[in-house]
Amino acid sequence: MSKTAMGASQKDFESAVNQMKLLKKDPGNEVKLKLYAHYKQATEGPCNTPKPAVFDLINKAKWDAWNALGNLPKETARQNYVDLVSGLSSSSDSSSQVKPEADRKQAGYETLVMTSEDGITKIMLNRPTKMNALTTQMYQEIMLALEAASKDDSTITVLTGNGSYFSSGNDLTNFVISPDELEERARRGAILLRDFVGCFIDFPKPLVAVVNGPAVGISVTILRLFDLVYASDRATFHTPFSHLGQTPEACSSYTFPSLMGPAKAAEMLIFGKKLTAAEACARGLVTEVFPDSTFQKEVWTRLKAYSKLPRNALRISKQMIRNHEKEKLHAINAEESRILQERWQSDECMNAIMNFLSRKAKL
């Protein structure tokens, strides 16, 4: 249906709303937000509800999309909605039975590639030229992707990295800010960190890390919140928190000592000892190590077999294992985030970031 001088009628609009309910293919978050915003604008006019809290991510994204339409007339919003649905229906009509890779990819993420196939939802960190360092946008997109994966019909959710690294941890340029912004940014950073880690603590389905290469910082500490951790023998595990004037996060101040004993945990978390994959496996952080040459093949064969197991049994067993310490983990997460909020404002931390940046400047 194309735009006409008269715009779409109420009947066209209602029929588009019904068509949306029948759509088989998920159009992705970006399109869903546009549809939501235009639907609200067409039926209620300009955004008239209070802005949701900053950590209420999904409702805030919806509110932002609706609010961004400003005073767009109801008729135009109705027409835009009809056009959007018409575009979606024709692309899904023309889709073939066997969907190409590009079709299985879910739209709406800029820093991740999210795909769902064979009962497995894969979330791939996608900043290979920056060693998958985690920007603020990336933390937010990972939370949205986990939220979507928790509700989709897949059995297993996988996190992995594109390129040679799993992830080099927090993007240190997240800290490049003027001194007058520091306090507020540290406050917001602590909320983001707490919410990010909280999503992993609460994730309801089996969660698997496919550690394709070296992992640094938070991409190591978060691993203890996964149910399986498969690593290439090229992967290393490094938490240089003290070198950065920082302290452990992702509940590792509790999970690492309980996993490997306080002496081994101290070696990693206080003194920044880098472990090989075999060492990480011996300490219980990694489930199994594979030769890099056969890593992808072996891991995905294994995961495809696991994804055929009864979905609800897997989910319930995971929850039985994890529920014992959930409340404790949330409390530890909140405390670690509070301590980091202070650390980020310290001279030790600022100097360490400057050292990293000046090392770059010399390259």
Ligand X SMILES: CCCCCC/C=C/C(=O)SCCNC(=O)CCNC(=O)[C@H](O)C(C)(C)COP(=O)(O)OP(=O)(O)OC[C@H]1O[C@@H](n2cnc3c(N)ncnc32)[C@H](O)[C@@H]1OP(=O)(O)O
CB of 340 vs ligand X, minimal distance in Å: 6
Candidates 172, 231, 265, 269; binder of ligand X (CB under 6 A) is 172
CB of 170 vs ligand X, minimal distance in Å: 3
Residue nearest to ligand X (CB): 217
Per the CB < 8 A criterion, the answer to whether 128 and 162 are in contact is yes
As given in the structure block, the two tokens for residue 318 are 């995971």
Of 21-29, 51-59, 85-93, 244-252, which part binds ligand X (CB under 6 A)?
244-252
Pairing of strands 228-232, 207-211: parallel
Q: How many other CB atoms are there within 10 angstroms of residue 209's CB atom?
A: 23
As given in the structure block, the two tokens for residue 246 are 């920082």
Q: Roughly what angle, to the nearest 10 degrees, separates helices 10-22 and 74-93? A: 40
Of 163-171, 259-267, 279-287, 319-327, which part binds ligand X (CB under 6 A)?
163-171
At 276, give phi and psi (nearest 5°). -75, 170
What lies within 8 Å, CB to CB, of 331 at 6+ separation is none
As given in the structure block, the two tokens for residue 234 are 């090229």
Contact string (CB under 6 A) for ligand X, positions 176-195, x = contact: -------------x--xx--
Is 170 near ligand X (CB under 6 A)? yes
Of 82-90, 171-179, 200-208, 314-322, which part binds ligand X (CB under 6 A)?
171-179
CB of 360 vs ligand X, minimal distance in Å: 5
Restricting to residues 123-142, which ones interact with ligand X according to CB under 6 A? 130-131, 133, 139
CB of 236 vs ligand X, minimal distance in Å: 9
Q: Roughly what angle, to the nearest 10 degrees, separates helices 10-22 and 29-44? A: 150
Whole-angstrom distance, CA of residue 336 vs CA of residue 176: 22
Residues within the interface to ligand X (CB under 6 A):
130-131, 133, 139, 168-174, 189, 192-193, 216-218, 240, 244, 246, 249, 356, 360
